[in-house]
Chains A and B, each alone.
Chain A
Amino acid sequence: MTAFVKQPDLSAGALHVWQRNRDVLLQLWKSEFVAQLLEPPFVIFALGLGLGKFVELDNGQDYVAFLAPGLLAMFPMFTAVFECAWNSYLRLDQGTYRAILATPASIDDIITGEILWGATRSTVNAAYILLVAALLTPWLGMVDSPWAILCVPVAVIPGIFFSAMSILFASVAKAMSQFGYFFNLVINPMFWFGGAFFPTDSLPAWGRVVAWCIPLTHATALYRGFITGELEWSMAGDFAWLVVATGITYLAALWSMRRRLTE
């Protein structure tokens, strides 16, 4: 049994693993980037303007403006999940990790590099969505405050969280087909109940408890505060929630991958 709480064995190897993933992306950027660039504007138009016409919020806010922080939380979550669940499992399965392990890099280096990479893509994605929302603001009124820029550095934390959670799942998956469970039982409920599409305080008491347990809820709440400029003390709680959950999930991912990769 390997110890759960153990000082991570880290070196420059983690950076080299991150660089490996960057190099791969630079080879494939054409096919990788296009879909990611188009999807957020599509969703803003379809949900924000299309569906938004039929939605009236208690506080009189436009639905499209309500939606913006949700998108800022949701799309980067999917980016991290695709990178660190599917792609990491592929690298595990095709022997890439074992090849790297024969070099001075450690298991902790590899997993940390992967998570940092997932977090990087996730954060870049968040920055892009913020940019789109800001550019559309003269027409759609999505971004109300310069505090919104804080969404970008803060996005690193959920980026790490969702990457670590995905690696954790990849470390116990026996086959690619099992990712259906992860997606349907973990990611999808977060997507729908994480406060992106409707205010969670409209839920019954038990629903609010469920929503509080969902990491996406806290990311959405933080972004909502920054984008509207209505900063509240509860945001410190949301931030602390994310930091603690991220630390635990990171250690769990390291521990589980050590078990998976140690022969």
Chain B
Amino acid sequence: MTENAVEAQGLVKRYGPFTAVDGIGFAVREGECFGFLGPNGAGKSTTIKMISCLSPVSWGTLRVAGLDPRTDARRIKSQLGVVPQEDNLDEDLPVRKNLEVYARYYGLSKAVADTRIDDALALFQLTEKAASKIGDLSGGMKRRLVIARSLVSEPRILVLDEPTTGLDPQARHNVWQKLRLLKARGVTMILTTHYMDEAAHLCDRLVIMHRGTILTEGNPHALIGQHAGNEVLELRMEPEERAPLLGELGAIAGVTVEEVEDLVYVYGAGQRARDLALGISDPGRAFLRPGNLEDVFLRLTGRGLLD
């Protein structure tokens, strides 16, 4: 039997009177990519910090690689690669030296470190930047370097806190591609994100967190099917048309309708809903698209601004 890479039961984090994580439970399997989704302040980063032994557990049990962060932080950390939300590269050292110094914290010999650093720099297309100052790198390069840095210890578990926040689309896709490659090599990955397409691209399973609790758990496709349906219809129409149409749409089995200011979302739309939608006075204002994780997310966590 293979043990889970990470396991939590009744995990709690309190900061004074504030409860950031409120008794969550989850299990990350060896070799999978597991996502924590949620709006800002949901408790994702706090959970990740407890897993990476940066933040002490207030209550509950947590096992990382079978070990307890309270007593075995060093042994856990030697098996983790951590990509924090902020690029905390060492600004005082050039690119390659950053990785050399980092490898030393893991107690790697110079020879082993040199090979791994060459590989990591090549993988992230940073070989030519080896002698550059950190300040001269673009945002995308810094992010790639942070991920490259997390790989020099050849981690069994890679923990990524919002790995692509702030990157342009090219850089994001580039990072995703590298992460898929690492996953194919068997690295267990745990990531937080509020990009739904990122979660859909990368995660085998995910949880959606809100106010410190887990709202739902599953693989992205199943969650979409369950909470949004395969097709979503977005409608904008005149107020006088609205009430009768909503009544008819709502009567169709398996369809849910949500009104958000001037927009109407029809989840789980099928042939019948589509026909009805084409009957509105300006069909150009009807838009049919596949259901996605964003629908699931917004339906579960609500549409109000959270901070």
Interface residues of A, Cβ cutoff 8 Å to B: 11-13, 16, 19-20, 23-24, 27-28, 94-96, 98-106, 262-263
Given known contacts A19-B101, A263-B49, is B74 in contact with A101 (CB within 8 Å)?
no
**Which residues of the partner chain A approach B104 to less than 8 Å between Cβ atoms?**
16, 19-20
Q: A20-B90, A99-B102 are in contact. List 14 more A-B contacts (CB 8 A).
A: A13-B105, A16-B105, A20-B93, A20-B104, A27-B92, A95-B86, A96-B92, A98-B84, A98-B88, A101-B54, A102-B77, A103-B153, A106-B74, A263-B49
**Which residues of the partner chain B approach A96 to less than 8 Å between Cβ atoms?**
88, 90-92
**Which residues of the partner chain B approach A12 to less than 8 Å between Cβ atoms?**
107
**Which residues of the partner chain B approach A20 to less than 8 Å between Cβ atoms?**
90, 93, 101, 104
Interface size, chain B (Cβ < 8 Å): 30
In the complex, what distance in Å separates the CA atom of A99 from the CA atom of B44? 19
Residue of chain A at shortest CB distance from B52: A102
**Which residues of the partner chain B approach A19 to less than 8 Å between Cβ atoms?**
101, 104
Shortest A121–chain B CB gap in Å is: 15
Given known contacts A20-B90, A24-B92, A95-B86, is B80 in contact with A102 (CB within 8 Å)?
yes
Given known contacts A24-B93, A104-B107, A106-B73, is B102 in contact with A263 (CB within 8 Å)?
no
- Determine if A102 and B54 form an interchain contact, defined as CB atoms under 8 angstroms apart: yes
B97 near A: Cβ within 8 Å? Answer: yes
- Determine if A99 and B88 form an interchain contact, defined as CB atoms under 8 angstroms apart: yes
- Determine if B90 and A99 form an interchain contact, defined as CB atoms under 8 angstroms apart: yes
Contact pick for B105, options A24, A28, A104, A263, CB 8 Å: A104
- Determine if B107 and A27 form an interchain contact, defined as CB atoms under 8 angstroms apart: no
User: Scoring B residues 28 to 65 as 1 if CB is less than 8 Å from chain A, else 0, what string do you get?
Assistant: 00000000000000000000010010111000000000
- Determine if B77 and A94 form an interchain contact, defined as CB atoms under 8 angstroms apart: no
Q: Which of B56, B88, B106 has the most CB of A within 10 A?
A: B88
